[in-house]
């Protein structure tokens, strides 16, 4: 057993004690962060909801500085309320702490794009909390527990349902289906993360394909009955789904191929090898 | 605006990023921690549920060392999984980090015991998550938001309902009612914190009064119709409730007075002045 006894720096006290903050994981490829505008917007919305008054322009400078120093990386931004007093309500709106840190660019097999990925259905459900739904906040025990369920070897990502049984997302990605020539993705008003790649697809790429896009309550049965299923996040891009549990899903590249044309133009090919 | 740019120490990385850990706030009065055995038990149960393999005997030594150095204090223990890799599932079961830190003993007016306390009903609801219900984990945004709703001046604590409308607890304490000579407290199988003082009352003090005690689903209407209402936690002890929102509640000291006999014998009087 390896234990460290270490004092929490007071500026991170509310992040450690309560998860009182948000984060972003931003892909930077050759000095370019193709989705930065979307990350920035989500960050801004989230801290407004949490009542943290942060100077986003300052934070943006730190981000670009890191992007210059690490021209290809995933740059993770953590922004948390600070203030070292004990107690939930000891929260000065004006004090916050930021970490902008570069992690190595991940590499994935191109098989994930070509043959698709295998999902398993997590036992762990997503609870309903409209006040923080959609946000990439620091309360992530549900995802930690869900990720720990992954059966090693045969599943790439865990599919998560909410407490009512609706499909919401994967542990680290959002999900779309194609149904009657409409792209459909789960509504995130009660839980789930409003992913940046999800927003890019809904607000920009879908119109280029062109396909209408809508949010809906989706059950597992509706996922199985779909014409195509794919998952997405801002780091890996888009992966078609080839199976959920023991059920095979037909991979068809008509949609994901068109999305990949756009993503390749943004430099995403760099993370496949 | 006051911003700090600060690196998260890697041993606290999972605590900051995911809230992947638990905490305890332990009252120490003149070198004695009257409820330590209950805190220790809850800590042990919680880390077992989270799959963190911690040497509790080692942690206990650190706790008593702090208790010797700060003979009257609230000692807050934070125990989090460590491991600096990015990703929910990068969780080595064997690595954890501990902080044992003393905070000044709080002081409360004895009016809170004599005249009772005023609750308001929080807008923020508690979401259902059986996998982590009862635990004092580090995902506490619901409490942070609920505590921020407190109307300054007229309310002492916020009463929290779950997403189905059942009464669960207050932002920092548990609740009991007296009904037909039975002590009743909300069930915590879907959400809420299984408080140490709640456990002491249920498992030990109730039998001394003597009164039977039970867990049940309780609505706000049932709280209003109760013969007595009180809240409790391991730091302040027990407070009768004199109002919820604009509704008065009759304070009767028959029960809380008997509980206070036991708490005074443990030294709790020291925090009132």
Range of the domain at B215: 111-271
Q: Is B91 exposed, middle or buried (0-12, 13-18, 19+ CB in 10 A)?
A: buried
Residues 56-75 of B with CB under 8 A from A: 58-59, 62, 74
| B30 contacts chain A (CB < 8 A) | no
Question: How confident is the model at residue A151, as a pLDDT?
Answer: 86
Question: How confident is the model at residue A256, as a pLDDT?
Answer: 96
Rounded to the nearest angstrom, the minimum Cα separation between B253 and chain A is: 28
B234 and B158 within one domain: yes
Q: Is residue A86 very low, low, confident or very high in pLDDT (cuts 50, 70, 90)?
A: confident
| B153 contacts chain A (CB < 8 A) | no
* Interval A127-165: pLDDT, tens: 999 999 999 999 999 999 999 998 888 899 999 999 999
- Rg over alpha carbons for chain A, rounded to the nearest Å, is 19
Please give the mean pLDDT across all residues of chain A: 94
Q: Do B16 and A18 touch (CB under 8 A)?
A: no
Domain with B88 in it: what CATH number?
3.30.470.10
Q: Is the pLDDT of residue B107 over 70?
A: yes
A182 and A266 within one domain: yes
Rounded to the nearest angstrom, the minimum Cα separation between B170 and chain A is: 12
Distance, in Å, from the CA atom of B254 to the CA atom of A36, rounded to the nearest integer, reads 62
Do the domain assignments include residue A2?
no
A164 and A88 within one domain: no
Question: How confident is the model at residue A252, as a pLDDT?
Answer: 87
Question: Closest partner residue to A6 among B12, B88, B163, by Cβ?
Answer: B12
A264 and A146 within one domain: yes
Domain with B166 in it: what CATH number?
3.20.10.10
Residue A70, both tokens: 């690490």
* Interval A6-42: pLDDT, tens: 899 989 999 999 999 999 999 999 999 999 999 999 9
Distance, in Å, from the CA atom of A47 to the CA atom of A173, rounded to the nearest integer, reads 21
Residues 99-128 of A with CB under 8 A from B: 99-101, 103, 124-125, 127-128
A27 and A55 within one domain: yes
Number of domains making up chain A: 2
**Last-in-domain residue among A84, A104, A124:** A104
B123 and B48 within one domain: no
Q: Do B148 and A2 touch (CB under 8 A)?
A: no
* Interval B28-68: pLDDT, tens: 999 999 999 999 999 999 999 999 989 899 999 999 999 99
**Last-in-domain residue among B77, B104, B131:** B104
**Last-in-domain residue among B88, B104, B120:** B104
Q: Among A7, A75, A89, A234, which would you mutate to test the B interface (most chain B Cβ atoms within 10 Å of its Cβ)? A: A89
B237 and B139 within one domain: yes
Q: Is A234 exposed, middle or buried (0-12, 13-18, 19+ CB in 10 A)?
A: buried
B57 and B166 within one domain: no
Distance, in Å, from the CA atom of A26 to the CA atom of A47, rounded to the nearest integer, reads 17
| B147 contacts chain A (CB < 8 A) | yes
A144 and A200 within one domain: yes
Q: Do B148 and A51 touch (CB under 8 A)?
A: yes
| B137 contacts chain A (CB < 8 A) | yes
Closest chain B residue to the Cα of A126, Cα to Cα:
B129
Do the domain assignments include residue B143?
yes
A175 and A84 within one domain: no
Q: Do A3 and B172 touch (CB under 8 A)?
A: no
Closest CA to B76 of B28, B42, B13, B108: B28
Q: What is the 3-state secondary structure (H, E, C) of chain B?
A: CEEEECCCCHHHHHHHHHCCEEEEEEEEECCECCCHHHHHHHHHHHHHHHCCCCCHHHHHHHHHHHHHHCCCEEEEEEEEECCCCCCCCCCCCCEEEEEEEEEECCCECCHHHHCCEEEEECCCCECCCCCCCECCECCCHHHHHHHHCCCCCCCCEEEEEECCCCEEEECCEEEEEEECCEEEEECCCCCCECCHHHHHHHHHHHHHCCCCEEEECECHHHHHCCCEEEEEECCCEEEEEEEECCEECCCCHHHHHHHHHHHHHCCHHHHEC
Do the domain assignments include residue B217?
yes
Question: Closest partner residue to A171 among B88, B91, B137, by Cβ?
Answer: B88
A52 and A16 within one domain: yes
Q: Is B129 exposed, middle or buried (0-12, 13-18, 19+ CB in 10 A)?
A: buried
CA torsion angle for B171, B252, B34, A19 (degrees, to 10)? 0
| A211 contacts chain B (CB < 8 A) | no
Do the domain assignments include residue A3?
no
- Residue environment code for A135-173, b if the CB has 16+ CB neighbours within 10 A, otherwise e: bbbbbbbbbbbbbbebeeeebbbbbbbbbeebbbbbbbb
Do the domain assignments include residue B1?
no
Contact list, B171 vs chain A (CB under 8 Å): 88-89
Question: How confident is the model at residue A2, as a pLDDT?
Answer: 60
Residue A29, both tokens: 């490829």
Question: How confident is the model at residue A91, as a pLDDT?
Answer: 66
Q: What is the pTM of this model?
A: 0.94
How many Cβ pairs closer than 8 A exist between chain A and B? 217
Q: Is residue A88 very low, low, confident or very high in pLDDT (cuts 50, 70, 90)?
A: confident
A73 and A172 within one domain: no
Q: Do A91 and B148 touch (CB under 8 A)?
A: yes
Q: Among B62, B80, B144, which would you mutate to test the A interface (most chain A Cβ atoms within 10 Å of its Cβ)? A: B144
Q: Is the pLDDT of residue A255 over 90?
A: yes
């Amino acid at each position: 057993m390896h234990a460290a006894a270490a004092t929490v720096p007071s500026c991170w006290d509310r992040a450690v004690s309560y998860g009182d903050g948000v984060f972003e994981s931003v892909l930077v490829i050759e000095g370019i962060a193709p989705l930065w505008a979307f990350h920035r917007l989500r960050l801004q919305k989230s801290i407004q909801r949490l009542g943290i008054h942060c100077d986003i322009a300052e934070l943006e400078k730190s981000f670009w500085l890191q992007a210059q120093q690490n021209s290809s990386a995933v740059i993770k931004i953590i922004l948390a309320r600070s203030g070292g007093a004990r107690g939930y309500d000891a929260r000065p709106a004006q004090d916050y702490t930021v970490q902008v840190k570069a992690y190595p660019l991940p590499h994935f097999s191109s098989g994930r794009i070509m043959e698709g990925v295998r999902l398993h259905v997590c036992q762990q459900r997503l609870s309903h909390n409209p006040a923080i739904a959609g946000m990439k906040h620091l309360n992530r025990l549900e995802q930690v527990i869900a990720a720990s369920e992954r059966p090693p070897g045969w599943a790439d990502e865990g599919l998560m349902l909410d407490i009512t049984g609706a499909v919401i997302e994967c542990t680290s990605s959002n999900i779309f289906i194609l149904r009657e020539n409409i792209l459909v993705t789960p509504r995130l008003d009660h839980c789930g993360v409003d992913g940046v790649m999800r927003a890019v697809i809904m607000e920009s790429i879908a119109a280029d394909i062109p396909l209408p896009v809508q949010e809906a309550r989706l059950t597992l049965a509706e996922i199985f009955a779909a014409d195509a299923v794919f998952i997405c996040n801002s780091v890996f891009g888009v992966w078609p789904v080839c199976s959920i549990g023991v059920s095979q899903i037909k991979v068809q590249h008509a949609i994901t191929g068109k999305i990949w044309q756009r993503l390749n133009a943004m430099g995403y090919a760099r993370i496949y090898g």
